[in-house]
Chain A
Amino acid sequence: MERRLYFILGDLSAAVLSGACAGWLVQFMVPVSFNGPLAMAAAMLIGRITGMAVGMLCGLLSSPFFGAMEPVLPASLAGMVAGMVIGTAMVMSTLSPLNAALGGAAIGALCLLYTYVQQTRLFGDVDTPVKS
């Protein structure tokens, strides 16, 4: 588990920025005329693809400063999940760009928390390395 504040803040800013950018962008990409289950699935797909691209970009831009994998994976996850959630939410109700970005940012923070929980679980020696 990372304990250095500089890197924790780096991970957090990459994930929150990624979620916020994905949410904001997807809000513009899902047409207001979208409705019904198929539209919801389409909006989720648009959100997922857009969000993952945005997330990877945010992660890769932060990589030279905060780490090669550690900020990139949660930022990519944040973009993907935020894009899916905000895209789906846009079919059910109208979100303002600000609310979409804030929602995406919150999702980004949750994605980082999920990554840290997994990191705590997985860190260290693998119990039983598979023998050949």
Chain B
Amino acid sequence: MDNPQQNQKKWDSAAGAYDFSTAGGPEARWRPFKKTLFSKMAGKVLFLAVGTGLDIGCFPQGQDITGIDISPKMLEKARPRIDAYDGQMTVHQMDVHEMTFDDATFDQVFTSCTFCSVPDPVRGLSALRRVLKPGGSLNMFEHTGSHIFPFNVMLNVANPLMRRLGPEVNRNTVGNVQKAGFEITRVNNIFLDVVKTIEAVPAC
């Protein structure tokens, strides 16, 4: 498992080529689904991880959004997109495991392809639960492992290589959300059972 310093270094290194690898095909393919998920933004919103800010174009206007990312290089690249957002958006260089926000600060948390990369996903998700207000919601756009043969085998085999390049590709993120003390309210498959949206609320 990467420690926060290794994780930051990995994503700092990826910042230069990140838009080339994701801004074209992947974003064009996923943008309609992201827009649908992000259209639910309301109240005080925490968004992680901002990356180079590609997702900001999918945000509804006029929201109050706080963004975090572990990589200062990514945030540097995101700056023009943050400045162009038609709403209130502030960003912080911060590790999700060690967030400095007070308890019950946010009405909603949104993630986008984040928990494939957080080194300790259950601890990271528990931290999100801490900063959510009672009655708040967690809304995730994520890629995960698969339960379908042979895709599950392929993702498991590919994972050791992929985690060196960036994300892990075989995580059970729905299970991790539950382990972190959330109750799943909706799972929507977008590509196979690999790319999906996950909606959850803190379990009572």
Residues on A close to B: CB < 8 A? 2, 7, 10, 52, 56, 62-71, 73, 76-77, 80, 115, 118-119, 122-126, 129-132
Contacts of A119 in B (CB 8 A): 191-192
A66:B25 contact, CB within 8 angstroms: yes
Please give me the residue from chain A that is nearest to B196 by CB atom: A126
A125:B194 contact, CB within 8 angstroms: no
Tell me the smallest distance from the CB of B136 to a CB of chain A, in Å.
16
B61 within 8 A of A: no
Q: Which of B21, B183, B185 contacts A63 (CB under 8 A)?
A: B21
B143:A69 contact, CB within 8 angstroms: yes
Q: Which of A68, A73, A76 contacts B192 (CB under 8 A)?
A: A73
With A and B bound together, what is the CA distance between A56 and B162 in angstroms?
11
Assign chain B's interface to a size class.
35 or more
A118:B183 contact, CB within 8 angstroms: no
With A and B bound together, what is the CA distance between A67 and B113 in angstroms?
14
In the complex, 23 of the A-B residue pairs with CB atoms within 8 angstroms, ordered by the A residue number, are A2-B29, A7-B28, A56-B161, A63-B26, A64-B22, A64-B24, A65-B24, A65-B25, A66-B29, A67-B26, A67-B28, A68-B143, A70-B191, A77-B151, A80-B150, A122-B148, A123-B191, A125-B187, A126-B188, A126-B189, A129-B184, A130-B184, A131-B184
A73:B25 contact, CB within 8 angstroms: no
Contacts of A52 in B (CB 8 A): 154, 157
Q: Which of A70, A118, A132 contacts B178 (CB under 8 A)?
A: A132
Contacts of B21 in A (CB 8 A): 63-64
Please give me the residue from chain A that is nearest to B29 by CB atom: A67
Known: A70-B29, A118-B151, A124-B189. 6 other contacts (CB 8 A): A64-B24, A65-B24, A67-B25, A69-B195, A80-B150, A125-B189
Please give me the residue from chain A that is nearest to B195 by CB atom: A69
Residues A132 and B191 in contact in the complex (CB < 8 Å), given A63-B26, A122-B148: no
